[in-house]
Amino acid sequence: MTLLKTIRETRSQGKRHISNRSSRGSAAFELAAGALITIAIVAFALNTCFAMVAYGINDHACRDAARAAAQGTTPPEAFMMANAIVKSYNNTAAGMTPITLVLVSYVDFNGSPPPGSAPTVTVITRTSTKLPAPIELFGKKLFGQQIPLEKTYTFPIVRLKPAET
């Protein structure tokens, strides 16, 4: 009886030893593969975060510049108001180039718009953001060093007449 017990214990210890050795090797492989995938996901998420922050700042700057330009009474005044707003948004995020005012299109039809048309002002701003982790796949860059961003907003020009007293 004791001999049979000893044989069973020896067999079970041998199986445990073999299974432990192979599971340690597969765990190391899984850990290495998981680390590579995790690093790629973190790099992609970091790039996406930088791009979205820059897009949001450019979006806000363009919208605010278009609102300000719509308050102007002449094209040069609209340009100056929009440019002042864009300058106030510069240097707000790490890795962003300064936001530039590309276009201010002030269309007021000289005070008498045709039927069915409304006077509008269109503002275009441009910037780019530097990505912290450029990603390459098989030697081809998926994300380069910088992403260019451009935004366009069009606002109506509304002039309220002062209340008569």
pLDDT in the model for residue 127: 94
Q: What is the dihedral of CA 28, 33, 39, 45, to 10 degrees?
A: -130
Contact 158, 69 (CB under 8 A): no
- Amino acid 123: pLDDT: 97
Q: Assess if residue 143 is contained within a domain.
A: yes
Please report the beta strands in the chain, taking only residues with DSSP state E, as ranges in sequence order.
100-107, 120-130, 135-137, 140-143, 146-156
- pLDDT tens digits along 128-165: 998 888 777 677 776 667 889 999 999 998 776 666 76
Instruction: Give me the helix-helix angle, 75-89 and 2-70, nearest 10°.
Output: 150
Which residue in this structure is represented by tokens 């390459």? 136
- The answer to whether residue 47 sits within a structural domain is yes
Tell me the pLDDT of the chain averaged across its residues. Answer: 83
Answer whether residue 81 is part of any domain.
yes
In a domain? residue 163:
no
Asked if residue 127 is part of any domain, the answer here is: yes
Domain ranges, residue 94: 2-156
**pLDDT score of 15 more than 60:** no
Distance CA 154, CA 63 (A): 8
**Residue 27 belongs to some domain of the structure:** yes
Q: Which two tokens stand for residue 65?
A: 């510049």
Q: Is the dihedral of CA 52, 56, 57, 58 positive or negative?
A: positive
| Residue type for position 60 | H
Task: Classify residue 161: in a domain, yes or no.
Answer: no
Backbone dihedral angles phi then psi of residue 40, each to the nearest 5 degrees: -65, -40
Q: What is the pTM of this model?
A: 0.74
Q: How many CB atoms lie within 10 A of CB 137?
A: 9
85 in any annotated domain:
yes
What single-letter amino acid sits at 11?
Answer: R
- Work out how many domains the chain is built from and give that number: 1
